[in-house]
Structure 1
Amino acid sequence: MKLKNLISVLAESVEYVPDIKVNQIQFKSRDVKKGDVFVAIKGLKHDGHSFINEAISKGAVAVVGEEDYYPLPVPYIRVQDTRKALGKLAKTLYSDPSLMHNMIGITGTNGKTTTAYMLKHIFQTAQESCSLFSTVSNFVNGTELMSTATTPDILELNKMLRVSTDKNVVMEVSSHGLHQKRVEGLAFNYGIFTNLTHDHLDYHQNMDEYFNTKAGLFSLIKDNGEAIVNSSCPWGKKLINQLKSKQQSVFSFGTSENDDLQLLRTESGVSKIRIKGSNVKLAIKMPMPGHHNLQNALAAILCALRAGVNIQEIKKAVESFPGVSGRFEVYRCQGVNFVLDYAHTPDGLENLLQTVKSMKHKRIVHIFGFRGNKDVTKRLAMLDTSAKYCDEIILTLDDLNGVSKEVMISDLEKSAKYLGARKTHLIIDRTRAIEYAWKNSEKGDHIVITGKGPEPYEQEFEIPADNDAGTIKYLFSKSYNTSKV
């Protein structure tokens, strides 16, 4: 693309811009190559304006920034918001690829990943191709790609959307991604709101700001697009009212007869649902336990229905859903059940442990810790939840995230003191904590490990494993055979 054409989406006058070819857009100076446009972003740690000269020395043919005019040897385009400008430039360079797909964005505190994977499974069961961008993995044209963030940056997203030939695109959209404008310029056919509970208050000032950020997804819906919202959540009800006041199309799921997809009742793992306006009542056997996973399924079912998938295909897909790595992932050996789950919020932990409690068990042992540089205001609530449901608690290290090991150990010691010594252990090495639970387990025990799910360890631990599942397999392999369900 020619520089003049690209820059025209940002500036009214481009006479001063040379008619040269642009190769790429970059916002990291280290990635700049000859023929690229450099966009200076003010980040949390670094200000891209400090790297403008480096970008030019590497061959940048133009610079976009927020500061006053620079006397530069290349054109400088000043804008109010470079993050927003980056979104405009990206969609222009890649010819607005979100318009090529049936775009589905999923936001909420909990349930985004499970809902996204279930939707992908529904589409593929119905013989429709589907790209996926999620916390766990990305899939484009049937190929799995490594995921480095819940919501990739806008350049990477546009690039992958342009490459994708899949009819459908399902995407998790985090509050960080929305706030940092990582989906700026994309257009969605459907926006799904799963729920909103206490999380990320280290980043957002309060729950209202957190909600308003999440609600930003629904400003990106296409003119004929639709919102799919959980009416059982108080914040969902608030969102429904806001969207309807703006004349947006809203479809809800929940337990009210006013919902477009109503949960009638659940008995022995079989959920009865009613589809509003069609007189269709359906019994679906849920493959994953827990009311929270049922809520995720309702979101996926309603969205798939609105997207035109046949209800019998949806039923078939939901009942055959294999689950998601690190979301209620169970390993069994010698009558002991290990449950791995990403739960890292008070609500997520409550849902998980409540589900485990409802299952046949002898004892519940919980292994968890807290991440450095994350929302500390949720810690006491999570400790209380663990104490409420569990017979034994083992506190251990999670990711340090730049916080010293000594500080995190001190925090864990305070947490152990808060819980009391009767049923609490502090084992710093995460792999040794899992080993302790395994060696002291009894037939019928559920050992629940939360916080990381499938994520790799960021610190070195004593047992040679890459993640929690790897530690379990290593321990089982020493003496026993292991089975995964």
Structure 2
Amino acid sequence: MRPLRSIWHFAWALFSAASYGFPSRRLTVVGITGTKGKSTTLELLSGMFEEAGVRTALLSSVYVKVGADRKRNLTGNSMPGRGFIQRFLRSAVRAGCRFALVEVTSQGVLQHRHRFITFDAAGITNLAPEHIEAHGSFEAYRDAKLAFFRAVARSSRAPRLFVMEDDDAVSPFAAVAPGITTRFALEETLMPPGALGEVNAENAALAAAIARWFGVPEETIGSALRKFRGLPGRMEFVQKEPFGVVVDYAHTPDSLTKLYAALRKDYSGLVCVLGSAGGGRDKWKRSAMGTVAATHCRFAVLTDEDPYDEDPAAIIDDVERGFKERSFSAYEKVLDRRAAIRRALACARPGEAVVLTGKGSETGIHRAHGVIEPWSETEEVRRALS
């Protein structure tokens, strides 16, 4: 980031915090970073605190929740700027919340949006390449998240950091401040059995580790996990019979692999709607996404996702290269996403699952010249099924 722009973001963060009276000082604030699973981890953690009778506020890419008031996050940002976070924290104070749970992104850290928030704890879900164009390299992307951990470690609140064991990708985070770091293990039996539980095992383990640190009883943690039904656009089942239909936000090779692998245990085959990366970003992963789909799917439909100013056909051609590398030929290219959804549903057999990835709960498709086409993946699926 250019120095002057960085200074501007820093100054704006200070101004916003001061304008709202530094509200984080009157809350217990937990920040969750990582590549995938941040929103789900926050939702699980909020459920654990609420199950224990503790009033919470939550800010994620899916929801803005203050006490009992829950709304969809329509800002288009997981970690909104322009004073949004400080205003959210002040609302949490006024609503009598004890905890504020905040999603922390690498780009938000670059823009100093975590500054002047007094964090009591921070956790990382996982780490894999993403936003390479924005950061310049995977190392720079990782370093932005490390900068958040270092900032929390310097907090005057006796903070705690949470890092999973046996995961080399996140081991640098455990080295930030070993004396205040809790290493936790993956607990596969925490979540109820099934695809939803398997995909969210890491998220549940992190949420449980943090909840335990703050004194939530084990039986309360278990009760909250049993009540969890997922988030919109995160392994969201639109239909289960005669074939499953699942909408998910997965848009990296790693998250796509985990999603497909979990669903294959419950379904005889997968029919996949795949759009890969948005235009002008993360081009490295396009063929890799195709390779993953070729490995796990019986049939695939390549389609549009968020082309921005890039040629949509060129994007799916890049994904197609992954198919060709695996000599996978059971696919079609259908640029219109509505038509692609209908084609995939028409191809599904009883006992299989149609898996639509990339959009999740997003409310628009980003097209050329800044045009945003209103969109709801689940509503489009329901219309096609009706």
> 1:279 maps to which residue?
none
> 1:77 maps to which residue?
none
Quick check: which has more Rg, 1 or 2?
A: 1
> 1:201 maps to which residue?
132
Say if 2:71 is the partner of 1:145.
Answer: yes
For residues 304 and 191 of structure 2, the distance between their equivalents in structure 1, rounded to whole angstroms, comes to 39
Instruction: Answer yes or no: is the 8 Å Cα contact 2:302–2:333 preserved in 1.
Output: yes
For residues 179 and 459 of structure 1, the distance between their equivalents in structure 2, rounded to whole angstroms, comes to 23
1:418 offset after TM fit, Å?
A: 4.8
Instruction: Answer yes or no: is the 8 Å Cα contact 2:242–2:350 preserved in 1.
Output: yes
> 2:370 maps to which residue?
none
Q: Flag the 1:210–1:476 CA change in 2: closer, same or farther, 3 A.
A: same
> 1:47 maps to which residue?
none
For residues 301 and 17 of structure 2, the distance between their equivalents in structure 1, rounded to whole angstroms, comes to 48
Say if 2:121 is the partner of 1:214.
Answer: no
Name the structure where helix makes up a greater proportion of residues. Answer: 2
Say if 2:68 is the partner of 1:162.
Answer: no
What are the equivalent positions in structure 2 for 1:403-442 lying under 5 Å apart?
403=310, 407-416=311-320, 418-420=322-324, 422-442=329-349
Name the structure where strand makes up a greater proportion of residues. Answer: 1
1:231 offset after TM fit, Å?
A: 2.2
Q: Flag the 1:183–1:375 CA change in 2: closer, same or farther, 3 A.
A: same
1:414 offset after TM fit, Å?
A: 4.4
> 1:88 maps to which residue?
14
Of 213, 217, 235, which residue of structure 2 is paired with 1:310? 217
Q: Flag the 1:99–1:154 CA change in 2: closer, same or farther, 3 A.
A: farther
What are the equivalent positions in structure 2 for 1:232-251 lying under 5 Å apart?
232-244=166-178, 247=179, 249-251=180-182
> 1:372 maps to which residue?
279
1:381 offset after TM fit, Å?
A: 1.4
For residues 396 and 119 of structure 1, the distance between their equivalents in structure 2, rounded to whole angstroms, comes to 35
Deviations 1:33-72 (A, max 9, x none): xxxxxxxxx98xxxxxxxxxxxxxxxxxxxxx959xxxxx
Q: Flag the 1:465–1:237 CA change in 2: closer, same or farther, 3 A.
A: closer
Q: Flag the 1:389–1:66 CA change in 2: closer, same or farther, 3 A.
A: closer
Say if 2:131 is the partner of 1:131.
Answer: no
Instruction: Answer yes or no: is the 8 Å Cα contact 1:288–1:323 preserved in 2.
Output: no
Instruction: Answer yes or no: is the 8 Å Cα contact 1:228–1:303 preserved in 2.
Output: yes
1:436 offset after TM fit, Å?
A: 0.7
Deviations 1:386-410 (A, max 9, x none): 111111111000012233xxx1212
Paired amino acid for 1:100? R
For residues 19 and 10 of structure 2, the distance between their equivalents in structure 1, rounded to whole angstroms, comes to 14
Q: Flag the 1:293–1:146 CA change in 2: closer, same or farther, 3 A.
A: closer
Deviations 1:336-357 (A, max 9, x none): 1011110011111111111112
Q: Flag the 1:418–1:220 CA change in 2: closer, same or farther, 3 A.
A: closer
1:459 offset after TM fit, Å?
A: 6.2
> Which structure is richer in relative contact order (CA contacts within 8 A, separation 6 or more)?
2
For structure 1, the 5+ residue unaligned runs are 1-41, 44-64, 68-79, 256-262, 272-282, 478-485
For residues 284 and 451 of structure 1, the distance between their equivalents in structure 2, rounded to whole angstroms, comes to 24
> 1:27 maps to which residue?
none
For residues 40 and 193 of structure 2, the distance between their equivalents in structure 1, rounded to whole angstroms, comes to 13
> More displaced, 371-380 or 336-345?
371-380
> 1:32 maps to which residue?
none
Instruction: Answer yes or no: is the 8 Å Cα contact 1:364–1:389 preserved in 2.
Output: yes
> 1:190 maps to which residue?
121
For residues 467 and 146 of structure 1, the distance between their equivalents in structure 2, rounded to whole angstroms, comes to 13
For structure 2, the 5+ residue unaligned runs are 368-372
Say if 2:232 is the partner of 1:325.
Answer: yes
Instruction: Give aligned-pair identity as a percent.
Output: 25
SS of corresponding position for 1:103: strand
Of 352, 355, 366, which residue of structure 2 is paired with 1:445? 352
For residues 71 and 240 of structure 2, the distance between their equivalents in structure 1, rounded to whole angstroms, comes to 32
What are the equivalent positions in structure 2 for 1:444-483 lying under 5 Å apart?
444-458=351-365, 466-477=375-386
Instruction: Answer yes or no: is the 8 Å Cα contact 1:119–1:304 preserved in 2.
Output: yes
Paired amino acid for 1:135? S
For residues 196 and 228 of structure 1, the distance between their equivalents in structure 2, rounded to whole angstroms, comes to 14
Deviations 1:160-187 (A, max 9, x none): 2112231111111111111111121111
Deviations 1:228-255 (A, max 9, x none): 11223213212112322xx4x0001125
Of 26, 30, 34, which residue of structure 2 is paired with 1:104? 30
> 1:390 maps to which residue?
297
1:290 offset after TM fit, Å?
A: 5.2
For residues 227 and 240 of structure 2, the distance between their equivalents in structure 1, rounded to whole angstroms, comes to 24
Q: Flag the 1:175–1:399 CA change in 2: closer, same or farther, 3 A.
A: same
Over the aligned positions, Cα root-mean-square deviation in angstroms equals 2.3
Deviations 1:178-213 (A, max 9, x none): 111112111111101111001111111222211110
In the superposition, the TM-score normalised over structure 1's length comes to: 0.72
Deviations 1:243-280 (A, max 9, x none): 22xx4x0001125xxxxxxx3xx5xxxx1xxxxxxxxx
